[in-house]
A and B are shown apart, each in its own frame.
Chain A
C-alpha cells in the first residue's frame, strides 16, 4: 500500500481539513486549516474533493518520502521546496515517482504550507473531522504533530486520477519529477508580505469603545507577536487599545474575532480558539480575509480597515465562486490530458 514516511518532522506539521461541524456546543474548538483557501487549492490541483485532509506545515517544513508513484500539490506561503533535490514550484500539480523525497525548507514569506496527495491520507475521523487538535490530543495522526519515523498510509486516488498518474509517471526514472506548467491563479494565492491591509467588520462590542478609540483602532499599525499560534494571532501596537472594564458575560466566539483583553493588546482568534470568550470584541475579520490571517508570521505588520457587512458577504461568496470555478477548470484540464 502507498504510504508517506516522515524522515524529518519539521517544526509543527499537523493534518487539517475544514474542521469540526456542530461540536462547538460541546466546547470543542472547530479547528481546521488556518489558510483554507491554500488547502482547497492544493486539493483541487490533485483532483481531491473539497475538504480532504491535507498536511499543514508551519514556518519550517518536513522531509517526506513517498513509497509509490503519485500526484501531489503544495500551496500556501513562500517556502523553499525540493523534490528529489530539484527545486519545484508551489501551486502546481506535481507527478512523483516511487521513492520520491519531498523536502520542505524554511519559510521566506507567509507562515503555513499545505500538502495534498491525490486520494488523500488515510486518517480516522474524530467527531466528524481529521483535523488535529493538539491541546486535547485527538484528531489527525494520533492527535499530535508528525514525528520522525511516522508512516501514514495513503488512500487510492479516483480511477481517472490514477490513470493520469500512470501515464505521467510511466518511464519516469526514480530520481526525477514532472510538474505541470499550469496551476492556481492569483485569485487563490493569499496575500503575503511585510505590511498587509486586512478588512474587518464591526465587532459585537464595538459600541463599547469610545468614538476616539474606534478611530484610533482603524488607524494603528499592529505587529504580529511571536506567541501567535493556531489558537490566536497576537498583536502588539505602540499604544494599547483603550478598553473599558465591562461586566460582560462570556459568549460564543469564533475564528476571526478580534478581542481586546485587559492589557489592550488585541488578539485575532483563530481555528483552535476556545468556543467562548469574555473579552470585548472590537472587530471581526471578514471571512474572505481569514486565509490571510492564517499566513501571518511574527514581525509582520497589519492595518485593519472597516467595510460594510454586505460587502464582506459579497466578497466571501465571490471567493467561494472563484474557488469552485478553479476546481472545475482543473477537472476539465485533467480530462483533456487523459484524452491526448
Chain B
C-alpha cells in the first residue's frame, strides 16, 4: 500500500489557517471568509468546510458555495426563525446561522490537507478551425503556436471556483507568458467546449454563450449538462490538465460521442 505515506505526508504538511471571519450577507446568507486576497493555501479549508456542510447540512441551509477565499452559505430565514424559537435561541435568523457556523467550525477542524482534488484530463484540439485565436495569441507573445500549445498544456490548473456561466471553471495557474488581453469586440456566440484565455485566466466554455475570451482550442468533454447529476463536471479544488490531440482524433472522438 503506497497510500499511507501520502496520507501521513498530507497530515504532517497541513497547517490549519487562522479562524475565518463570519459575516452576514443580507438577511439570507452568511459568508465565511479567510482572506480578501487570493491565497492558494486556503483551498484545503474551503473544501473541508464544503464537504462537511454537504455531509451534514445546517438547519435551514439551502446550499454552500465556495469561492477563492470564502464560502457563502445561503439559508431560508423563516426556517431559521422557527428553529430559533424551538431551541430557545431567540435571535435574528442571521445571528442564529452565524452561531451555528461558528460552532461547526470550532467542533470539526479539518485534520488533513483537502487541497488536492482529482485531476481531470481534458483533451484539446488546439488551433485551426477549433482554435481560431491561437495564431494571434502566438503572435502577441512572439512565439510559435506550438510553443503556446506546449506552455498551455504543461501545468496542472486548480479549479478555484465555478461562475460566470453554468459549469464555467475559474482556473488558477496560467503561465505568465500566456497572459493575453480579451478580444476588443466579444463574439456574439462562442461554442461549448471552447478553451480560451482572458488576461491572467484560462477557462473552458461549458455552453454556447457570447464571450470575449481568445479561443485557442476546443474539447469534446462535456463540462455542463442539465441531464447530468451533478450538472457540472468540475467542483472547486478539482484540478485540470489539458492534453493536446490532433484534429483527426478530435473529429473521430466527437463523432463517437
The complex places the Cα of A252 from the Cα of B170 at a distance, in Å, of 13
Beta-carbon nearest neighbor of B93 in chain A: A313
Contact with A along B135-149 (1 / 0, CB 8 A): 000000000000000
- Which residues of chain B have C-beta atoms less than 8 A from A204's C-beta? 23, 25, 31
Name the interface size band of chain B. Answer: 35 or more
State whether A276 touches B93 (Cβ < 8 A).
no
Contact with A along B156-184 (1 / 0, CB 8 A): 00000111111110100000000000000
Decide: A26 near B224, CB < 8 A? Known: A21-B63, A204-B25, A284-B26. Answer: yes
A63 to chain B, nearest CB (A): 30
Does A22 belong to the interface (CB within 8 Å)?
A: yes
Decide: A27 near B163, CB < 8 A? Known: A138-B226, A252-B31, A284-B26. Answer: yes
Contact with A along B188-216 (1 / 0, CB 8 A): 00000000000000000011110000000
- Which residues of chain B have C-beta atoms less than 8 A from A246's C-beta? 36
Does B83 belong to the interface (CB within 8 Å)?
A: no
- With beta carbons under 8 angstroms apart, the residue of B68, B72, B162 that contacts A27 is B162
- Which residues of chain B have C-beta atoms less than 8 A from A27's C-beta? 162-168, 206, 224, 232
- With beta carbons under 8 angstroms apart, the residue of A21, A23, A135, A250 that contacts B231 is A23
Does B17 belong to the interface (CB within 8 Å)?
A: no
Beta-carbon nearest neighbor of A138 in chain B: B226
22 pairs, A vs B, C-beta closer than 8 Å: A24-B63, A24-B74, A25-B162, A25-B235, A26-B166, A26-B232, A27-B163, A27-B166, A28-B167, A28-B232, A136-B207, A204-B31, A249-B36, A250-B67, A251-B31, A252-B29, A254-B28, A276-B162, A284-B26, A309-B24, A312-B26, A320-B78
By a beta-carbon cutoff of 8 Å, the part of chain A in contact with chain B is 21-29, 126-127, 135-138, 201, 204, 246-252, 254, 256-257, 274-276, 284, 286-287, 309-310, 312-313, 316-317, 320
Nearest 10 Cβ contacts at the A-B interface: A276-B163, A252-B72, A27-B162, A26-B232, A249-B68, A284-B26, A22-B63, A252-B65, A28-B166, A251-B67
